[in-house]
Amino acid sequence: MDDKGGREMAAERPMTIKEVVDERRAEIERIKKAVFATMKHAYFWADQSHGTENSEMKANIMLAYRHLEDARMRLGKVLQAQSGGVSIYDDGRKVGAIKVPQKEKN
């Protein structure tokens, strides 16, 4: 018996590594947007107490943002390694203005 009126709870299947990583990447994306939004805080429209205060603060916010981007990318690399090391860019799709060549198949 459990605490839900005597009904047994169905065993939940464990999340796959892809599900876990995708969830973490989505969480990082939400945090990334919130960090970037910090740059629009009213504080930055006020007078600075010293000449470089705002630029130093904004620089650190951008560094935090870039580190989050890197963390999200590294979790993507987990999925890449789990799928045999194949990048989404290895299928010959265009990346920007550059056509990524496909690997020759033997």
The predicted pLDDT at position 97 comes to 47
pLDDT at residue 55, rounded to an integer: 85
Q: Write the pLDDT tens digit of every residue in 31-74.
A: 999 999 998 888 887 777 776 778 888 899 999 999 999 999 99
Q: pLDDT-based confidence at 27, cuts 50/70/90?
A: very high
The rounded distance, in Å, linking the Cα atoms of 86 and 103 is: 11
| Strand partners for 94 | 99
Report the range of poorest mean pLDDT among 4-8, 48-52, 73-77.
Answer: 4-8
Q: Where are the domains of the chain?
A: 17-80
pTM, rounded to two decimals: 0.66
